[in-house]
Copies of this chain bind each other. A is one copy, B any other.
Amino acid sequence: MLKVGLLGAGRIAGVHATAVSSHPGSTLVAVSDINPAAAEKLAGQYGAQARSTDAILGDKAIDAVLIASSTDTHSDLIQAATAAGKAVLCEKPVDLSLARALACQKAAALTGRPVMIGFNRRFDPNFSALKAAADNGEIGKSELLSITSFDPAPPPISYIKVSGGLFRDMMIHDFDMATFIMGATPVAVTAVGSSIVDRAIGEAGDVDTAVVTLTYADGRIAVIKNSRRAVYGYDQRLELLGSDGLLQAQNMLENTVVKSTTTGVTGAKPTYFFLERYMPAYAAEWAAFVEAINAGNTPPVTLQDGVTALAMAEAATISARSGTPVRLGSVLGE
């Protein structure tokens, strides 16, 4: 039975708390938060204790910590937790600064403790089924990947300003998805962006609509489309063209009801946002972490994957400004 400390008690921490508690091989022991009342409340709901982060990291009986606090704390907490001997599952991104993320990676590596980054979409049953079919050779050799990833509505401008920008905050999921599906890191990143959804987002120095092209050493190409606004719901789709066919992972719909009237044939919308769409993925992600830790295996999403996604975001940010392709190696100082 894996004993787990949860760092953070916000909305996404609540999702993780359910996953930890529901898993037959793990128990939620303690919760910390900068807001002690929030920690109390969440801990109480699952029969755990509210403690300080230090107390959790110092408790030898706790095997693993799940970091779901704010982004700026991630890299420090990964370092502290691995130094304290804990296995770690940390929400994405590792950090908004690539330099800090690389330093964190180096420090964590020295401890030898396993760190998994919470790219939950890899565990979505649709995307993982597509990946399995591709790996199984069902469409031959893969050639061209397309990722459509639209949010239902833009966040407030106050959030935009501290988010690190669309590429680091939103598309980072899609960068990791490209790495997951392609099983490789791109050579170069070319980005085009626009603030056509909301001019205020542009005034805040960010884009809300973007297309990024990734090129791979073997000639494969991936293209990612992001928009901060798809009024019909969370639009999360993949298409992978291969030498023997095409694989598509389509949206999940709210229900299967179809209505035919004089105005057309209408089905339900996609599930509204990430909690609705990816709830099963959070449980599957946690199960994969528990399984890896118990077996002594490397977790299925590593700190390296977190760094790679961040480097891709960094390259895209530069490319969107310069208008020219950016070699991934150049942002990594290679």
Copies held by the complex: 4
Determine if A135 is an interface residue (Cβ-Cβ < 8 Å): no
CB pair B256 A249 closer than 8 Å: yes
**A247 → chain B, closest Cβ, in Å?**
5
Residue count of chain A within 8 Å CB distance of chain B: 70
CB pair B260 A243 closer than 8 Å: no
A221 to B249, CA, bound (A): 24
Determine if A179 is an interface residue (Cβ-Cβ < 8 Å): no
Determine if A192 is an interface residue (Cβ-Cβ < 8 Å): yes
Q: Which B residues lie within 8 Å of A245 (CB)? A: 230-232, 259-262
Per-position contact with B for A211-234: 1 when CB-CB < 8 Å, else 0?
101010011110101010111110
CB pair B257 A243 closer than 8 Å: no
Determine if A126 is an interface residue (Cβ-Cβ < 8 Å): yes
Residues of A within 8 A of B (CB): 125-126, 129-130, 133, 138-139, 143-144, 146, 148, 150, 188, 190, 192, 194-197, 209-211, 213, 215, 218-221, 223, 225, 227, 229-233, 235, 239, 241, 243-270, 323-325
CB pair B231 A261 closer than 8 Å: yes
CB pair B219 A196 closer than 8 Å: yes
Known A247-B257, A257-B129, A266-B266; judge A213-B211 contact (CB<8 A): yes
Known: A192-B221, A245-B261, A250-B258. 13 other contacts (CB 8 A): A129-B268, A133-B259, A138-B261, A139-B261, A144-B227, A192-B215, A194-B220, A194-B221, A196-B219, A232-B261, A246-B259, A247-B258, A252-B256
Q: Which residue in B195, B218, B227, B244 is a CB contact (below 8 Å) of A219?
A: B195
Q: Which residue in B230, B246, B250 is a CB contact (below 8 Å) of A241?
A: B230
CB pair A263 B261 closer than 8 Å: no
A211 to B222, CA, bound (A): 9
CB pair A125 B231 closer than 8 Å: no
CB pair A231 B243 closer than 8 Å: yes
- Chain B residue at smallest Cβ distance from A212: B213
**A33 → chain B, closest Cβ, in Å?**
22
- Chain B residue at smallest Cβ distance from A267: B265
CB pair B197 A223 closer than 8 Å: no
**A324 → chain B, closest Cβ, in Å?**
5
A and B contact pairs by CB, cutoff 8 A, 13 listed: A126-B257, A143-B209, A144-B225, A195-B219, A196-B219, A230-B260, A231-B262, A232-B262, A232-B265, A246-B260, A249-B256, A250-B256, A266-B266
